[in-house]
Protein backbone atom coordinates (compact mmCIF):
# COMPACT_ATOMS: atom_id res chain seq x y z
CA UNK A 1 0.00 0.00 0.00
CA UNK A 2 1.35 3.40 -0.91
CA UNK A 3 0.64 5.00 2.42
CA UNK A 4 1.78 4.45 5.99
CA UNK A 5 5.22 3.20 6.90
CA UNK A 6 6.36 2.48 3.34
CA UNK A 7 7.04 6.07 2.24
CA UNK A 8 7.87 9.34 3.89
CA UNK A 9 10.26 12.27 4.13
CA UNK A 10 13.65 10.83 5.13
CA UNK A 11 15.36 14.20 5.46
CA UNK A 12 12.51 15.62 7.54
CA UNK A 13 12.42 12.56 9.79
CA UNK A 14 16.12 12.99 10.57
CA UNK A 15 15.44 16.57 11.66
CA UNK A 16 12.45 15.40 13.72
CA UNK A 17 14.49 12.75 15.55
CA UNK A 18 17.33 15.24 16.04
CA UNK A 19 15.01 17.57 17.95
CA UNK A 20 13.74 14.66 20.06
CA UNK A 21 17.26 13.51 20.96
CA UNK A 22 18.34 17.07 21.83
CA UNK A 23 15.31 17.48 24.07
CA UNK A 24 15.86 14.11 25.76
CA UNK A 25 19.51 14.90 26.49
CA UNK A 26 18.72 18.33 27.96
CA UNK A 27 15.92 16.96 30.12
CA UNK A 28 18.17 14.12 31.29
CA UNK A 29 20.86 16.60 32.34
CA UNK A 30 18.38 18.76 34.25
CA UNK A 31 16.92 15.68 35.95
CA UNK A 32 20.35 14.32 36.90
CA UNK A 33 21.68 17.64 38.20
CA UNK A 34 18.50 18.24 40.16
CA UNK A 35 18.54 14.85 41.89
CA UNK A 36 22.23 15.24 42.69
CA UNK A 37 21.73 18.67 44.27
CA UNK A 38 18.67 17.53 46.22
CA UNK A 39 20.34 14.50 47.82
CA UNK A 40 24.11 14.73 48.00
CA UNK A 41 25.84 18.13 48.46
CA UNK A 42 26.44 19.58 51.93
CA UNK A 43 25.54 23.25 51.64
CA UNK A 44 27.08 25.89 53.90
CA UNK A 45 23.65 27.34 54.57
CA UNK A 46 19.99 26.67 54.01
CA UNK A 47 19.86 29.72 51.79
CA UNK A 48 22.45 28.31 49.38
CA UNK A 49 20.63 24.98 49.33
CA UNK A 50 17.27 26.50 48.43
CA UNK A 51 18.88 28.92 45.99
CA UNK A 52 20.35 25.92 44.15
CA UNK A 53 16.97 24.16 44.20
CA UNK A 54 15.32 27.31 42.83
CA UNK A 55 17.92 27.42 40.05
CA UNK A 56 17.17 23.83 39.06
CA UNK A 57 13.44 24.43 38.81
CA UNK A 58 13.93 27.74 36.99
CA UNK A 59 16.01 25.92 34.36
CA UNK A 60 13.41 23.13 34.21
CA UNK A 61 10.63 25.69 33.77
CA UNK A 62 12.51 27.54 31.04
CA UNK A 63 13.42 24.29 29.25
CA UNK A 64 9.82 23.04 29.23
CA UNK A 65 8.59 26.42 28.02
CA UNK A 66 11.13 26.53 25.18
CA UNK A 67 10.35 22.97 24.11
CA UNK A 68 6.62 23.68 24.21
CA UNK A 69 7.13 26.61 21.83
CA UNK A 70 9.30 24.43 19.58
CA UNK A 71 6.74 21.62 19.41
CA UNK A 72 3.90 24.07 18.85
CA UNK A 73 5.77 25.14 15.72
CA UNK A 74 6.86 21.63 14.74
CA UNK A 75 3.38 20.10 15.01
CA UNK A 76 2.47 21.41 11.53
CA UNK A 77 5.51 19.64 10.07
CA UNK A 78 4.85 16.37 11.91
CA UNK A 79 2.27 15.23 9.35
CA UNK A 80 4.55 16.26 6.48
CA UNK A 81 7.63 14.53 7.87
CA UNK A 82 5.98 11.57 9.51
CA UNK A 83 2.22 10.94 9.39
CA UNK A 84 -1.11 12.20 10.70
CA UNK A 85 -0.92 9.47 13.37
CA UNK A 86 2.28 11.05 14.66
CA UNK A 87 0.47 14.40 14.98
CA UNK A 88 -1.91 12.78 17.45
CA UNK A 89 0.98 11.14 19.33
CA UNK A 90 2.99 14.35 19.61
CA UNK A 91 -0.10 16.24 20.78
CA UNK A 92 -0.98 13.72 23.49
CA UNK A 93 2.43 12.42 24.54
CA UNK A 94 4.57 15.54 24.20
CA UNK A 95 2.63 18.78 24.24
CA UNK A 96 0.25 17.83 27.07
CA UNK A 97 3.12 16.57 29.33
CA UNK A 98 5.04 19.78 28.60
CA UNK A 99 2.08 21.87 29.73
CA UNK A 100 1.95 19.80 32.92
CA UNK A 101 5.72 20.15 33.37
CA UNK A 102 5.49 23.93 33.07
CA UNK A 103 2.76 24.00 35.74
CA UNK A 104 4.69 21.80 38.17
CA UNK A 105 7.97 23.67 37.58
CA UNK A 106 6.24 27.01 38.14
CA UNK A 107 4.82 25.87 41.48
CA UNK A 108 8.21 24.39 42.45
CA UNK A 109 9.89 27.72 41.61
CA UNK A 110 7.48 29.56 43.90
CA UNK A 111 8.03 27.02 46.69
CA UNK A 112 11.82 27.15 46.45
CA UNK A 113 11.81 30.96 46.17
CA UNK A 114 9.74 31.19 49.37
CA UNK A 115 12.20 28.77 50.95
CA UNK A 116 15.07 31.10 50.07
CA UNK A 117 13.22 33.99 51.70
CA UNK A 118 12.52 31.91 54.83
CA UNK A 119 15.94 30.28 54.97
CA UNK A 120 16.71 32.05 58.26
CA UNK A 121 13.77 30.37 59.95
CA UNK A 122 15.16 27.21 61.55
CA UNK A 123 11.70 25.72 62.10
CA UNK A 124 11.21 25.86 58.32
CA UNK A 125 14.65 24.79 57.12
CA UNK A 126 14.95 21.92 59.62
CA UNK A 127 12.03 20.18 57.90
CA UNK A 128 13.78 19.93 54.51
CA UNK A 129 12.94 16.64 52.82
CA UNK A 130 14.68 15.84 49.50
CA UNK A 131 11.77 13.63 48.44
CA UNK A 132 9.54 16.66 47.76
CA UNK A 133 11.79 18.45 45.23
CA UNK A 134 12.78 15.07 43.77
CA UNK A 135 9.17 14.22 42.98
CA UNK A 136 8.69 17.67 41.50
CA UNK A 137 11.71 17.43 39.23
CA UNK A 138 10.68 13.94 38.10
CA UNK A 139 7.25 15.28 37.14
CA UNK A 140 8.83 18.31 35.48
CA UNK A 141 11.46 16.51 33.43
CA UNK A 142 10.90 12.77 33.75
CA UNK A 143 7.54 12.56 32.00
CA UNK A 144 8.60 14.67 28.97
CA UNK A 145 11.87 12.71 28.96
CA UNK A 146 9.96 9.42 28.75
CA UNK A 147 7.80 10.83 25.93
CA UNK A 148 10.91 12.07 24.09
CA UNK A 149 12.61 8.69 24.45
CA UNK A 150 9.59 6.74 23.22
CA UNK A 151 8.99 9.03 20.24
CA UNK A 152 12.71 8.85 19.46
CA UNK A 153 12.50 5.06 19.26
CA UNK A 154 9.47 5.30 16.95
CA UNK A 155 11.25 7.92 14.85
CA UNK A 156 14.41 5.84 14.52
CA UNK A 157 12.30 2.85 13.50
CA UNK A 158 10.61 5.05 10.89
CA UNK A 159 13.98 6.24 9.52
CA UNK A 160 15.25 2.66 9.24
CA UNK A 161 12.08 1.70 7.35
CA UNK A 162 12.45 4.66 5.00
CA UNK A 163 16.13 3.88 4.36
CA UNK A 164 15.30 0.24 3.66
CA UNK A 165 12.65 1.23 1.14
CA UNK A 166 14.95 3.79 -0.47
CA UNK A 167 17.44 0.96 -1.06
CA UNK A 168 14.64 -1.08 -2.64
CA UNK A 169 13.72 1.87 -4.86
CA UNK A 170 17.34 2.34 -5.90
CA UNK A 171 17.75 -1.33 -6.72
CA UNK A 172 14.58 -1.24 -8.82
CA UNK A 173 16.16 1.31 -11.19
CA UNK A 174 19.84 0.38 -10.91
CA UNK A 175 19.69 -2.32 -13.58
CA UNK A 176 18.81 0.05 -16.39
CA UNK A 177 20.40 3.18 -17.80
CA UNK A 178 17.23 4.24 -19.58
CA UNK A 179 16.61 7.99 -19.63
CA UNK A 180 12.95 7.09 -19.25
CA UNK A 181 13.56 6.60 -15.53
CA UNK A 182 15.51 9.81 -14.93
CA UNK A 183 12.68 11.45 -13.00
CA UNK A 184 12.44 8.40 -10.78
CA UNK A 185 16.14 8.71 -9.97
CA UNK A 186 15.69 12.42 -9.27
CA UNK A 187 12.80 11.62 -6.91
CA UNK A 188 14.85 9.07 -4.97
CA UNK A 189 17.78 11.48 -4.69
CA UNK A 190 15.48 14.23 -3.41
CA UNK A 191 14.11 11.92 -0.72
CA UNK A 192 17.68 11.13 0.36
CA UNK A 193 18.56 14.83 0.55
CA UNK A 194 20.98 14.61 -2.37
CA UNK A 195 21.26 17.70 -4.57
CA UNK A 196 20.94 21.43 -4.07
CA UNK A 197 17.22 21.70 -4.87
CA UNK A 198 14.13 20.00 -3.47
CA UNK A 199 11.68 18.18 -5.74
CA UNK A 200 8.49 18.82 -3.79
CA UNK A 201 6.46 21.98 -3.21
CA UNK A 202 5.69 20.63 0.27
CA UNK A 203 7.42 17.64 1.87
CA UNK A 204 4.87 14.86 2.19
CA UNK A 205 5.66 11.26 1.36
CA UNK A 206 7.48 10.09 -1.78
CA UNK A 207 7.47 12.93 -4.30
CA UNK A 208 7.78 12.00 -7.98
CA UNK A 209 9.95 14.59 -9.73
CA UNK A 210 8.83 16.44 -12.85
CA UNK A 211 5.05 16.01 -12.57
CA UNK A 212 2.68 18.94 -12.93
CA UNK A 213 1.79 20.32 -9.51
CA UNK A 214 -1.48 22.16 -9.09
CA UNK A 215 -4.39 21.68 -6.67
CA UNK A 216 -7.23 21.48 -9.20
CA UNK A 217 -7.54 20.12 -12.72
CA UNK A 218 -10.30 20.84 -15.21
CA UNK A 219 -12.19 17.81 -16.48
CA UNK A 220 -11.52 18.96 -20.07
CA UNK A 221 -7.82 18.22 -19.48
CA UNK A 222 -8.64 14.49 -19.31
CA UNK A 223 -10.39 13.25 -22.44
CA UNK A 224 -11.71 10.05 -20.89
CA UNK A 225 -13.88 11.91 -18.37
CA UNK A 226 -16.39 12.79 -21.11
CA UNK A 227 -17.36 9.11 -21.38
CA UNK A 228 -18.11 9.01 -17.65
CA UNK A 229 -20.33 12.06 -18.01
CA UNK A 230 -22.13 10.52 -20.98
CA UNK A 231 -22.74 7.34 -18.94
CA UNK A 232 -23.97 9.08 -15.79
CA UNK A 233 -27.37 7.34 -15.68
CA UNK A 234 -25.82 3.88 -16.02
CA UNK A 235 -23.14 4.53 -13.37
CA UNK A 236 -25.76 5.92 -10.98
CA UNK A 237 -27.99 2.89 -11.51
CA UNK A 238 -25.12 0.49 -10.83
CA UNK A 239 -24.03 2.37 -7.73
CA UNK A 240 -27.59 2.48 -6.38
CA UNK A 241 -28.11 -1.24 -7.03
CA UNK A 242 -24.87 -2.44 -5.43
CA UNK A 243 -25.35 -0.21 -2.37
CA UNK A 244 -28.90 -1.51 -2.00
CA UNK A 245 -27.72 -5.12 -2.26
CA UNK A 246 -24.95 -4.63 0.31
CA UNK A 247 -27.16 -2.73 2.75
CA UNK A 248 -25.57 -2.71 6.21
CA UNK A 249 -22.53 -4.60 4.87
CA UNK A 250 -21.11 -1.48 3.20
CA UNK A 251 -17.61 -1.02 4.63
CA UNK A 252 -16.18 1.92 6.52
CA UNK A 253 -13.30 3.58 4.71
CA UNK A 254 -10.45 3.25 7.18
CA UNK A 255 -7.90 6.06 6.94
CA UNK A 256 -5.37 5.95 9.77
CA UNK A 257 -5.27 9.16 11.76
CA UNK A 258 -8.67 10.41 10.58
CA UNK A 259 -12.10 9.91 12.09
CA UNK A 260 -13.86 8.23 9.16
CA UNK A 261 -16.97 6.83 10.85
CA UNK A 262 -19.17 8.75 8.39
CA UNK A 263 -17.12 7.68 5.35
CA UNK A 264 -18.25 4.43 3.67
CA UNK A 265 -17.08 2.67 0.53
CA UNK A 266 -17.92 0.05 -2.04
CA UNK A 267 -14.51 -0.90 -3.37
CA UNK A 268 -13.87 -1.65 -7.04
CA UNK A 269 -10.06 -1.43 -7.09
CA UNK A 270 -7.76 -0.99 -4.08
CA UNK A 271 -3.99 -0.73 -4.31
CA UNK A 272 -4.11 -1.99 -7.93
CA UNK A 273 -6.06 -5.12 -6.84
CA UNK A 274 -9.40 -5.53 -8.60
CA UNK A 275 -12.52 -6.52 -6.65
CA UNK A 276 -13.84 -8.92 -9.27
CA UNK A 277 -17.22 -9.45 -7.60
CA UNK A 278 -18.05 -5.75 -7.33
CA UNK A 279 -16.70 -4.98 -10.80
CA UNK A 280 -18.85 -7.75 -12.27
CA UNK A 281 -21.89 -6.18 -10.60
CA UNK A 282 -21.07 -2.83 -12.25
CA UNK A 283 -20.17 -3.66 -15.88
CA UNK A 284 -20.56 -0.14 -17.31
CA UNK A 285 -18.49 1.42 -14.54
CA UNK A 286 -15.89 -1.35 -14.88
CA UNK A 287 -15.56 -0.81 -18.64
CA UNK A 288 -15.10 2.94 -18.13
CA UNK A 289 -12.45 2.45 -15.43
CA UNK A 290 -10.47 0.31 -17.86
CA UNK A 291 -10.26 3.26 -20.25
CA UNK A 292 -8.34 5.34 -17.70
CA UNK A 293 -4.63 5.30 -18.66
CA UNK A 294 -2.70 3.09 -16.27
CA UNK A 295 -5.62 0.86 -15.22
CA UNK A 296 -5.58 -0.95 -12.79
CA UNK A 297 -2.76 1.01 -11.15
CA UNK A 298 -5.17 2.84 -8.86
CA UNK A 299 -4.78 3.65 -5.21
CA UNK A 300 -8.57 3.41 -4.97
CA UNK A 301 -11.58 3.18 -7.25
CA UNK A 302 -14.79 3.03 -5.26
CA UNK A 303 -18.25 4.33 -4.68
CA UNK A 304 -17.61 6.73 -1.83
CA UNK A 305 -20.42 7.59 0.59
CA UNK A 306 -20.17 10.52 3.00
CA UNK A 307 -23.06 10.34 5.42
CA UNK A 308 -25.20 13.34 6.52
CA UNK A 309 -23.14 15.82 8.53
CA UNK A 310 -19.95 13.96 7.68
CA UNK A 311 -16.62 15.77 7.55
CA UNK A 312 -13.33 14.32 6.32
CA UNK A 313 -10.97 16.66 8.12
CA UNK A 314 -8.03 18.39 6.40
CA UNK A 315 -5.17 16.07 5.44
CA UNK A 316 -2.82 15.31 2.58
CA UNK A 317 -2.29 11.94 0.96
CA UNK A 318 1.16 10.46 0.55
CA UNK A 319 3.11 11.38 -2.56
CA UNK A 320 2.04 12.94 -5.86
CA UNK A 321 1.81 9.84 -8.05
CA UNK A 322 -2.00 9.97 -8.15
CA UNK A 323 -4.69 12.46 -8.99
CA UNK A 324 -8.20 12.00 -7.59
CA UNK A 325 -11.48 12.17 -9.47
CA UNK A 326 -14.79 12.72 -7.68
CA UNK A 327 -17.58 11.90 -10.15
CA UNK A 328 -20.86 13.12 -8.69
CA UNK A 329 -23.69 10.59 -8.39
CA UNK A 330 -26.04 11.44 -5.51
CA UNK A 331 -25.31 15.03 -4.50
CA UNK A 332 -27.16 16.78 -1.66
CA UNK A 333 -27.99 20.49 -1.88
CA UNK A 334 -25.03 21.55 0.28
CA UNK A 335 -21.50 20.38 0.88
CA UNK A 336 -18.16 20.97 -0.77
CA UNK A 337 -14.66 19.75 -1.53
CA UNK A 338 -11.80 22.01 -0.47
CA UNK A 339 -8.26 21.69 -1.83
CA UNK A 340 -5.44 24.11 -0.99
CA UNK A 341 -7.94 26.54 0.51
CA UNK A 342 -10.09 26.57 -2.66
CA UNK A 343 -13.62 25.15 -2.55
CA UNK A 344 -15.61 23.50 -5.30
CA UNK A 345 -19.05 21.90 -5.17
CA UNK A 346 -19.92 18.41 -6.33
CA UNK A 347 -22.42 18.18 -9.20
CA UNK A 348 -24.33 15.12 -10.35
CA UNK A 349 -22.87 13.83 -13.60
CA UNK A 350 -19.79 16.06 -13.37
CA UNK A 351 -16.22 15.33 -12.30
CA UNK A 352 -13.95 17.17 -9.88
CA UNK A 353 -10.26 16.34 -10.30
CA UNK A 354 -7.57 17.37 -7.82
CA UNK A 355 -4.10 16.54 -6.54
CA UNK A 356 -4.60 14.99 -3.11
CA UNK A 357 -0.98 15.67 -2.10
CA UNK A 358 -2.29 19.17 -1.36
CA UNK A 359 -4.14 19.71 1.89
CA UNK A 360 -7.80 18.90 1.34
CA UNK A 361 -11.07 18.16 3.11
CA UNK A 362 -14.60 17.04 2.27
CA UNK A 363 -17.70 18.41 3.99
CA UNK A 364 -21.29 17.17 3.74
CA UNK A 365 -23.22 19.66 5.84
CA UNK A 366 -26.59 18.40 4.61
CA UNK A 367 -29.10 15.87 5.96
CA UNK A 368 -28.55 13.52 3.00
CA UNK A 369 -25.75 11.15 2.03
CA UNK A 370 -23.35 12.23 -0.67
CA UNK A 371 -22.34 9.47 -3.14
CA UNK A 372 -19.56 9.80 -5.71
CA UNK A 373 -17.38 7.54 -7.81
CA UNK A 374 -13.90 8.17 -6.44
CA UNK A 375 -10.87 7.16 -8.52
CA UNK A 376 -7.23 7.69 -7.58
CA UNK A 377 -5.48 7.36 -10.94
CA UNK A 378 -1.88 7.87 -12.04
CA UNK A 379 -0.82 11.40 -12.88
CA UNK A 380 -1.24 11.74 -16.68
CA UNK A 381 2.24 13.27 -17.00
CA UNK A 382 3.76 9.82 -16.42
CA UNK A 383 5.15 7.89 -19.34
CA UNK A 384 4.25 4.26 -20.02
CA UNK A 385 7.66 3.23 -18.70
CA UNK A 386 7.15 5.18 -15.49
CA UNK A 387 3.69 3.65 -15.02
CA UNK A 388 5.22 0.21 -15.37
CA UNK A 389 7.79 1.10 -12.70
CA UNK A 390 4.99 2.17 -10.34
CA UNK A 391 3.15 -1.10 -11.03
CA UNK A 392 6.25 -3.15 -10.14
CA UNK A 393 7.57 -0.90 -7.35
CA UNK A 394 8.21 -2.47 -3.91
CA UNK A 395 5.93 -0.12 -1.99
CA UNK A 396 2.83 -2.07 -3.07
CA UNK A 397 3.98 -5.05 -1.04
CA UNK A 398 2.51 -5.45 2.43
3-state SS class at 128: coil
3-class secondary structure per residue, 90-117: HHHHHHHHHHHHHHHHHHHHHHHHHHHH
Q: Do β-strands 336-339 and 322-330 pair in parallel, antiparallel, or remain unpaired?
A: unpaired
Give every CB contact of residue 57 below 8 A, 6+ residues apart in sequence: 34, 105, 108, 109, 112, 133, 136, 137, 140
**Burial class (CB within 10 angstroms; exposed 0-12, middle 13-18, buried 19+) of 361:** middle
C-beta of residue 320 within 8 angstroms of C-beta of residue 377:
no
| 3 state DSSP class of 259 | coil
pLDDT at residue 4 tops 70: no
Confidence of residue 125 (pLDDT cuts 50, 70, 90): low
Residue 195 pLDDT level (bands cut at 50, 70, 90): low
Using pLDDT thresholds of 50, 70 and 90, give the confidence band for residue 362: very high
Give me the mean pLDDT over the 109-116 stretch.
Answer: 81
Note the pLDDT tens digit of each residue in 231-280: 999 999 999 999 999 998 999 998 877 777 899 999 999 999 999 999 99
> pLDDT tens, 44-56?
667 777 788 888 8
Cis peptide leading into residue 371 (ω within 30°): no
Across 145-152, average pLDDT: 85
Residue 311 confidence (pLDDT)? 93
Give the Cα separation of 191 and 11 in Å (integer): 7
pLDDT band at 167, cuts 50/70/90?
confident
Residue 2's pLDDT is 35
At 18, the pLDDT band (50, 70, 90 cuts) reads confident
Q: Select from 302, 287, 278 the least CA-distant residue to 373.
A: 302
SS3 at position 206: coil
Percent of the chain scoring above 70 in pLDDT = 86
Amino acid sequence: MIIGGKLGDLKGMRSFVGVLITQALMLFVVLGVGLFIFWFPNFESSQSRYSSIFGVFLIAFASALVFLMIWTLLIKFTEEWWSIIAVDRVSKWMIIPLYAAIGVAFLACIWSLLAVVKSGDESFTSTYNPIIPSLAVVLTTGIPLAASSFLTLLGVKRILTLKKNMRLFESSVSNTESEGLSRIRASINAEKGIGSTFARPEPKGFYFAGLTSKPWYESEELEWIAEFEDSFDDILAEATAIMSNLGDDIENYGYQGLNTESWKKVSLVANREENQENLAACPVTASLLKKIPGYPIFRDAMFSILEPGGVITPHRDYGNLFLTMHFGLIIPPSGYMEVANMQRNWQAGKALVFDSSYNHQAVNDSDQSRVILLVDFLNPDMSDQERQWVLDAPFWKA
